[in-house]
């Protein structure tokens, strides 16, 4: 199974064959509350690390979803547009947001593994 990486801004990603699938963490969806709308990037969009790539809106707030790495968007989860609640019910699975073809895999070294992310979340309490 591919290793999951995390950002301090609560995005997760899994890399397979040079393509990162990106979503928000369970912690992030819990902070947002019930998600009612998502705006996803279009295929072909160029992204940079920590540049805005998508928007998620909940009953509480709207929030940006950042690209964890540089590259090009090669797909988005169209199912989220019809059913944004997937972000709440399965944030680290069916609730993924978009896929990025990586342009600089070395950027992965800047991201956290699961243990480091859990420690980061614990430090926020």
Q: Which residue has the tokens 């940079």?
A: 48
Considering the domain boundaries, does residue 112 fall inside one?
Answer: no
For 101-116, the DSSP string reads EES-GGGGGGSB-HHH
Q: Return d(Cα 83, Cα 63) in angstroms, integer.
A: 18
CA distance 75 to 73: 6
Residue 32 lies in a domain: yes
Q: Is 125 domain-assigned?
A: no
Instruction: Give a three-class secondary structure readout of 44-103.
Output: CCEECCCCEEEEEEECCCEEEEECCCCEEEEEECHHHHHCCCHHHHCCCCCCCCEEEEEC
In a domain, 118, yes or no: no
For the domain that residue 50 is a member of, what is the CATH number?
2.40.50.100
pLDDT by residue, tens only, the chain of 125 residues: 578 999 999 999 999 999 999 999 999 999 999 999 999 999 999 999 999 999 999 999 899 999 999 999 999 999 999 999 999 999 999 999 999 999 999 999 999 999 999 999 999 97
Domain encompassing residue 8: 4-105
Model pLDDT for residues 69-93, shown as the tens digit of each residue: 999 999 999 999 999 999 999 999 9
Residues 6+ apart with CB under 8 A from 123: none
Please report the pLDDT score of residue 2 as a whole number.
Answer: 75
Domains held by the chain: number = 1
In a domain, 97, yes or no: yes
Within a domain: 93:
yes
Q: Is residue 25 part of a domain?
A: yes
Residue 98 lies in a domain: yes
Q: Assign 122 to helix, strand or coil.
A: helix
């Amino acid at each position: 199974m591919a290793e999951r990486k995390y950002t301090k801004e609560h995005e997760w990603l899994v890399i397979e064959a040079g393509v990162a699938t990106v979503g928000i963490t369970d912690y992030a969806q819990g902070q947002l509350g019930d998600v009612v709308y998502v705006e996803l990037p279009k295929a072909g969009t160029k992204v940079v690390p920590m540049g805005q790539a998508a928007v998620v809106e909940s009953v509480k707030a709207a929030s940006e979803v950042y690209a964890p790495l540089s590259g090009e968007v090669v797909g988005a989860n169209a199912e989220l547009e019809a059913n944004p609640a997937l972000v709440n019910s399965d944030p680290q699975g069916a609730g993924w947001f978009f896929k990025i073809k990586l342009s600089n895999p070395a950027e992965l070294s800047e991201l956290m593994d699961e243990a480091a992310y859990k420690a980061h979340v614990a430090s926020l309490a």
